[in-house]
Amino acid sequence: MSGFRILGIVLAIVGVIASIFPNWFVFLTGAPTEDIFEATERRVRGGMVLSAGLIFIAVTSLRPWSISIPTAIFYFMTGALAARLLGIIIEGAVPKQWMLVGVEAAFMTATAFWLWYKTPAA
């Protein structure tokens, strides 16, 4: 197992924990707030660390670019979307959060179709 994959696993674990318990990682997620939107965004910051870990795990080589860049985008959105949905479940929903869920899901769908089209059959 390469060093990048080990780093990715560590980042993914820290990101999951930071998304679930944002008060443990105030230096990363920011100070607690009463605003529902900002409380959910604190969890998304932990999801960004999860995203970085997923990217290190998934992207094994940078070439071909037509596969590595959409893969990185897909996993970046995956971490953000997972943390955002967790925040919506725990903190509560506001319309702007649902709009961001839709944007992230649209990016994930576009990159998934790109990868489906560009990845050679096994």
Query: CA of 92: how far to CAs of 39, 82, 96, in Å?
Result: 9, 15, 12
Q: What is the pLDDT of residues 47-98, one digit of tens each?
A: 999 999 999 999 988 888 888 999 999 999 999 999 999 999 999 999 999 9
In this model, does residue 115 exceed pLDDT 80? Answer: yes
CA distance 115 to 64: 12
Measured at the CA of 63, the angle between CA 81 and CA 47, to 5 degrees, comes to: 15
CA distance 45 to 47: 5
Enumerate the domain spans of the chain: 3-118
Query: How many beta carbons lie within 10 A of that of residue 51, not counting itself?
Result: 26
Mean pLDDT, residues 90-107: 95
Output DSSP code: residue 25: G
Assess contact for 4 and 52: CB atoms under 8 A. no
pLDDT value of position 90: 95
pLDDT score for 1: 79
Count Cα neighbours of 4 within 13 Å in the Cβ-side half-sphere.
10
